[in-house]
Structure 1
Amino acid sequence: MNLHELPMILFTVIAQMCVGMFIILGATQLWLSAKADSTTVDRLTLPILYVIGPALVFGLIASMFHMNDVMHVLNVIRHWQSSWLSREIIVGVGFAGAGFLFAVMQWFRIGSRALRQALGLITAVIGVALVFVMSMIYTSLRSVPAWHTWVVPFQFFATTIMLGAAAVAAAIGVMTVIRQRAARSKVSPVPVPPRAVKNTTDPKGGPRSLRDRLGFTRNITEINAPASPEEWTYSVRLVRACSVVSALAAVGVLISYTMHIQNLATNPSPAATASLAVYSGLFFWARLVLLALGAIVLGALVYRIAGKAMLEKPAPLAALVTLTFFLILVAEFMGRSLHYASMMRIGI
């Protein structure tokens, strides 16, 4: 793996995964809103939403170490009119800020549901812009044949959808296991009625604690409550849909590699020939095998098992979707390492 570019490998892959998760969750909210009540929608989506923020912050912090001196980050954003790198930082911070605002509004139930959905849509659009700007940093370099191609933005967006879908499926599986175990151990409390959150006193008449005022008691109680059969039905459908989406994106990536290699092979420049060697070694083939195994083979197995899984025994499905996500994540880290290793400039 190209360890010199490790900060950018971490940032690009993690940021794209976060964008993909946000898009998948947005589509899930729209789909469930027409079929289920608001409580069911929130219980299936909000816990996953609160995972995106820390992951994205980690990716942003990792990217700063690519500049050797993190204090130079302020200098990088000065040339946003002409620099795709400056635009990447600005749009990345914008996506993180809009996502944070959306999460806060969801947590405290600020504004109407329509208003929060509108903000979620805006955040998703910013996320798509982030992935596009990321890809243009490399695609715009005419002196690098391996980057100056449509394959780069295609694979960046494929990673976004594929990893986002796989991460959402894994989160749903793990979340269901945690809820059911809590239910069996009788740890999970009874959900608080919505009207109770408006009270300024506890059941004994005293003032509510800071924990209550910040919504932790209400939200954590709702999140940790055991899954209902209806929620499990929607969870299974969502996991199966995510497995299909990931598999289709993986097929697209595999096909794009074939076309990418063919384009490099027909390019007469020595830089293209040097880049072609990157896509012929054992590391490259291991990346393809892991991608096919995780997204396609295990994805098909997830689709089959999910249809037979029971709410009383969600652990096998959760383990399988988690393994699938892990293999895809490793494969994408390897793929991004190959992307940076293929940087061979014309004339240099």
Structure 2
Amino acid sequence: MHIGELPMIIFTTVAQMSVGAFWILGIIHLLGRRAGIEKSAIDSLTNAGMYAAGPLLLLGFFAAFFHLNDPFHAPFTLLHLGSSWLSRELISGVLYALFGLIFALTQWFNSFSRTVRDVFAALTALAGLSLVVSMCGVYYFAMTVPAWHTWFVWVSFFCSAFFTGSLAVALALLTTWRMKLRGASEKHGEPRNIWQKLVATLRRGLFPPGKLPEGLIDLTKRSMRITTGIAAAAGLIILVSYAFFMTQLGLGSPVQQQVARNMMAHGYLIIRLVLLVITILLIALVLRNYISHTSYPQRSLVITLWVTFVLAVATELIGRGLHYEGLVRAGINTLLG
């Protein structure tokens, strides 16, 4: 694989995970409100996942800067916003981070009205959509790269957001559930030093004190079933799409056939697909059964979900590395693998 593209492999995968997680959290809020649950109670369930979305994007941006010869030249990519998908990608990422930060701060400090906070949440979700669309555009509209100018870019990028983002939210929900149970059974004394005060402040923001009411436990289990179901569906779409995409490359032009050979070399495609199948099976056969029949977050459920999440991220990173094997240009003296 193109190890030199590692910064972009990390950036695209992690940023899409962040956006997908934010979308899924929005769906959970809509489900909770439809069920008649207090908005503040839903916040106590979803805050941990929401606050994790921002650092994920920052991690992605940090990795992307290493792809630049000079990181201080990054602002110059904004000069062609009207014609460059790269410029749109950067401004969309900045807007997503900005709106998300404002929304997170208003949530943390309980500032402004709920309507204002909902507006910032909607703006964050729209900026995230623009970010993923711009990422697709950067590659799809590279007309001289036939393997990228295809439907597969759109399918793989959007499905990646829902695949890893859904599992990240499921982990956040499970963590909140466990922390609520642990907080209800533990007695915390007054913090004695700066570190303990910081931990206490973070704990109150991420996991507000108080037990999860019965209705919220039901919403937690329902949300985890939905998130794992979305993840399984997205993973299955990616898996099936590979069959059509590889067939398209194998029957295509010499450049596309070269890409197919590059992707098949060294066994990375096989590893990617095997990990994808294992992840889907873990979700469909193990996690959903655990979630449906558990009355509290068992240790086996925690371990299984963590293993599933790690495998999902690993297979997506490998998949994104295979994506850059498609960088074979069509044109005079440009058939380079």
1:133 & 1:185 partners in 2: Cα distance? 47
Give 1:284's match in structure 2, choosing from 254, 269, 273: 269
Which stretch shifts more, 313-322 or 326-335?
A: 313-322
Q: Does 1:176 align with 2:158?
A: no
* Map 1:91-170 → 2, pairs under 5 A: 91-170=92-171
Give deviations 1:179-206, integer Å, cap 9, x for gaps.
32333333399xxxxxxxxxxxxxxxxx
* Map 1:240-259 → 2, pairs under 5 A: 240-259=225-244
Give deviations 1:138-186, integer Å, cap 9, x for gaps.
0001211110101101110000111111100011112222332333333
* Map 1:1-348 → 2, pairs under 5 A: 1-35=1-35, 36-187=37-188, 216=201, 219-220=204-205, 223-268=208-253, 270-281=254-265, 282-311=267-296, 313-347=297-331, 348=334
Retained in 1: the 8 A contact 2:17–2:164? Answer: yes
Q: What one-letter code is carried by the residue in structure 1 that aligns with 2:243? A: T
Paired residue secondary structure (1:66): coil
Percent identity of the aligned residues?
33
Cα shift at 1:218: 9.6
Q: What one-letter code is carried by the residue in structure 1 that aligns with 2:245? A: H
Retained in 2: the 8 A contact 1:88–1:133? Answer: yes
Q: What one-letter code is carried by the residue in structure 1 that aligns with 2:67? A: H
Q: What one-letter code is carried by the residue in structure 2 that aligns with 1:155? A: S
Retained in 1: the 8 A contact 2:179–2:207? Answer: no
Retained in 2: the 8 A contact 1:84–1:134? Answer: yes
Give deviations 1:9-45, integer Å, cap 9, x for gaps.
1110111000001000111111101221123201111
| 1:260–1:217 Cα change, 3 Å | closer
2:284 & 2:307 partners in 1: Cα distance? 10
Retained in 2: the 8 A contact 1:243–1:300? Answer: no
TM-score by length of 1: 0.87
Give deviations 1:227-255, integer Å, cap 9, x for gaps.
34332221111111111101111111111
Q: What one-letter code is carried by the residue in structure 2 that aligns with 1:146? A: A
Retained in 1: the 8 A contact 2:47–2:207? Answer: no
**How many residues are aligned here?**
323
Q: What one-letter code is carried by the residue in structure 2 that aligns with 1:327? A: L
Retained in 2: the 8 A contact 1:91–1:130? Answer: yes
Q: What one-letter code is carried by the residue in structure 1 that aligns with 2:236? A: V
1:187 & 1:288 partners in 2: Cα distance? 47
Structure 1: which 5+ residue stretches go unaligned? 190-210
Retained in 1: the 8 A contact 2:24–2:169? Answer: yes
| 1:127–1:221 Cα change, 3 Å | closer
Retained in 1: the 8 A contact 2:47–2:206? Answer: no
Per the alignment, residue 193 of structure 2 pairs with: none
1:251 & 1:314 partners in 2: Cα distance? 27
2:239 & 2:202 partners in 1: Cα distance? 47
2:118 & 2:308 partners in 1: Cα distance? 30
| 1:72–1:218 Cα change, 3 Å | closer
Paired residue secondary structure (1:109): coil
Retained in 2: the 8 A contact 1:176–1:314? Answer: no
| 1:223–1:132 Cα change, 3 Å | same
TM-score by length of 2: 0.90
Cα shift at 1:265: 1.4
2:53 & 2:31 partners in 1: Cα distance? 20
Task: Give the root-mean-square deviation of aligned CA atoms.
Answer: 2.2
| 1:188–1:265 Cα change, 3 Å | farther
Cα shift at 1:217: 8.5
| 1:221–1:321 Cα change, 3 Å | closer
1:158 & 1:181 partners in 2: Cα distance? 34
Give deviations 1:237-283, integer Å, cap 9, x for gaps.
11111111011111111111111111111212x22111011332411
| 1:188–1:19 Cα change, 3 Å | farther
Paired residue secondary structure (2:75): helix
Which stretch shifts more, 145-154 or 290-299?
A: 290-299
| 1:343–1:81 Cα change, 3 Å | same
Per the alignment, residue 207 of structure 1 pairs with: none
Cα shift at 1:221: 8.6
Q: What one-letter code is carried by the residue in structure 1 that aligns with 2:137? A: M
Q: What one-letter code is carried by the residue in structure 1 that aligns with 2:323? A: H
